[in-house]
Amino acid sequence: MPRVMIRKMKFSDMEQLIELMKRDGDHSLALVPILLYLNKSADFNHAYIAHVNQAVVGFVFGQIVMGGETLIPMYLYVAENFRGKKIGKRLMCRLEQKSGCTTSQIYYNASLHDYYAKQNYFAGTGLEVAIKMLNP
């Protein structure tokens, strides 16, 4: 497998992000980068992409709230042909580490329960909110 690199997201990544999600058939998520771009308050210090040979294969971004203490991961996406290779986990770890927060709270689709539980989020039965203590 080619080497996966993770770096901060830039506005110049938008076109590749949109094409990635459209190629995977996820047209609803293709709006996310556009909304980020249009949102003048978007904080790209809390957004990261994964790429292989300059091609984007995934991204994550989050928001910091509660006076800088709590990270809210908002979107995590990995290209279908790169799933199962721990890229999502690496993206989440980078977001968590660089946030400087003491807590991370995620809202997720219930079908992702096992995925976030494996990443040490407390995800009880039937919950669609999970919390994790971070080491800043």
What's the token pair of residue 85? 């290779």
Q: What is the pLDDT of residue 44?
A: 56
Nearest-angstrom CA–CA distance, 60 and 74: 7
**CATH label of the domain that carries residue 42:** 3.40.630.30
Q: What is the CA radius of gyration of the chain?
A: 14
Determine the structural domain holding residue 89 and report its residue range.
5-133
Q: How many domains would you assign to the chain? A: 1
Strand order in the sheet with 5-8: 5-8, 47-52, 55-65, 70-78, 103-107, 129-133
**pLDDT band for position 119 (50/70/90)?**
confident
pLDDT band at 89 (very low <50, low <70, confident <90, very high): very high
Whether 83 shows a pLDDT value over 80: the answer reads yes
